[in-house]
Amino acid sequence: MNKAYNIAVIPGDGTGPEVVREAKKVLSAAASKFGFKLNYEEFDFGGERYLRTGEVLPDSAPEQLKKFDSILLGAIGHPDVKPGILEKGILLRLRFELDQYINLRPVKLYPGVATPLKDKGPEHIDYVVVRENTGDVYTGSGGVTMKGTPHEIAVQNMVYSRMQVDRCLRYAFEYTRKRKKKNTLALCGKTNVLTYVFDLWERAFHEMGKAEYPDIVREYYHVDATCMWMVKNPEWFDVIVTTNMFGDIITDLGAITQGGMGIAAGGNINPEGVSMFEPIGGSAPKYTGRNVINPLAAISCGAMMLDHLGEERAAQSVENAIMYVTANKVKDLGAGKMGYSTSEVGDLVADKIAN
């Protein structure tokens, strides 16, 4: 019997449903070629549902989602909903409650794709950011007093436990070893100012590296300098490990160097549980329903998901098909400027896999 995987699909808001449709099309092509089955179940979490029902996420959702082999998400964010409600109530809540403690964000320039970095090509831009995904200022630790008065004080704490740091570092070291590229792991921090938190990260990094990963070269960069080198010398990087907030910021920079939000994929990973794959770009409400948004980021997410499920050959064939399409077909990745519609891009990739 063919192997089957149960996938929870959250198409979400805006252009989410359109790009998820193309990802599913491509995944089906890969599944039939490599002889496995994907069973989908859709969930309507997102802005529309919230506006209709007043509920952001049913309390049963995390437990329900834990039963799946993986989750594929389109986009969360709605122009009629105040910023923060859906992001915190759906995206961050799922990351936390499913304990997806790694946010894996490859920065890879595909052939044919334009980068704003002068004189840089696919041979220079190919690294991975391992962003810690459960700690930092994202935990909600802090508060506000004397609100609305001239004495108002607002505090938002950068929180890290040794356990959170260690499990993230372990994933990053293992990932670097498995990637077999330059065997170099760079810690991105701010040891010169954030002396408590990054002292913890730095000690943990070198202790673990020395004791368990002597084959991996350890480097350290301050976060501000990391941004500089990501632009000037991206070829220096192999794997970067960093905190939640810094990872959020530097991966938007990384995304634009690889062609923008239409191409950047990511995975919220719980190595021991259920993971959730989502394009980095948002819901792009302006383009909703127009069949012009680039679905390659969502399709790349599909490839990451297959890899995570253990279907490495299928994942590779999806990535190869994406690279074929960027090298030969879709040049300009701006929404509405690809020369192909959203569904045509999906067709191009799916056809390449089938033939």
Does residue 99 have an active-site annotation?
no
- According to CB under 5 A, which one of 136, 248, 278, 307 is a site residue for Mn ion? 248
Picked from Mn ion, ligand IPM, none, the partner binding residue 344 (CB below 5 to 8 A depending on kind) is none
Residue 87 CB, shortest distance to ligand IPM, in Å, is 4
User: Are the beta carbons of 173 and 185 closer than 8 angstroms?
Assistant: yes
Q: What share of the chain is helix, strand, coil (3-state, %, to 5)?
A: 45, 20, 35
In whole angstroms, what is the distance from residue 321 CA to residue 327 CA? 10
Residue 137 CB, shortest distance to ligand IPM, in Å, is 10
Picked from Mn ion, ligand IPM, none, the partner binding residue 109 (CB below 5 to 8 A depending on kind) is none
Does residue 66 have an active-site annotation?
no
Residue 203 CB, shortest distance to ligand IPM, in Å, is 26
Does residue 190 have an active-site annotation?
yes
The residue (of 30 and 276) whose beta carbon lies closer to ligand IPM is 276
Helix (H) or strand (E) holding 187: strand 184-189
Picked from ligand IPM, Mn ion, none, the partner binding residue 321 (CB below 5 to 8 A depending on kind) is none
Q: Which residues contact 218 (CB under 8 A, 6 or more apart)?
A: 184, 185, 186, 187, 205, 206, 209
**Residue 128 CB neighbour total at 10 angstroms:** 20
Q: Report the candidate in 255, 251, 298, 256 with the shortest Cα–Cα distance to residue 277.
A: 298
Candidate list 24, 25, 108, 190, residue with the active-site label: 190
User: Are the beta carbons of 112 and 92 closer than 8 angstroms?
Assistant: no
Residue 81 CB, shortest distance to ligand IPM, in Å, is 12
Does residue 248 have an active-site annotation?
yes
The residue (of 57 and 349) whose beta carbon lies closer to ligand IPM is 57
Looking at residues 81 to 120 of the shown chain, list those that interact with ligand IPM (rule: CB under 6 A).
87, 91-92
In whole angstroms, what is the distance from residue 281 CA to residue 285 CA? 11
Residue 75 CB, shortest distance to Mn ion, in Å, is 12
Picked from Mn ion, ligand IPM, none, the partner binding residue 166 (CB below 5 to 8 A depending on kind) is none
User: Rule CB under 6 A: is residue 132 a binding residue for ligand IPM?
Assistant: no
Distances (CA, A) of 197 to 13, 193, 211: 36, 10, 21
Q: How would you classify the pairing of strands 70-75 and 3-12?
A: parallel
Site residues for ligand IPM per CB under 6 A: 87, 91-92, 248, 280
Residues that bind Mn ion (CB under 5 A): 248
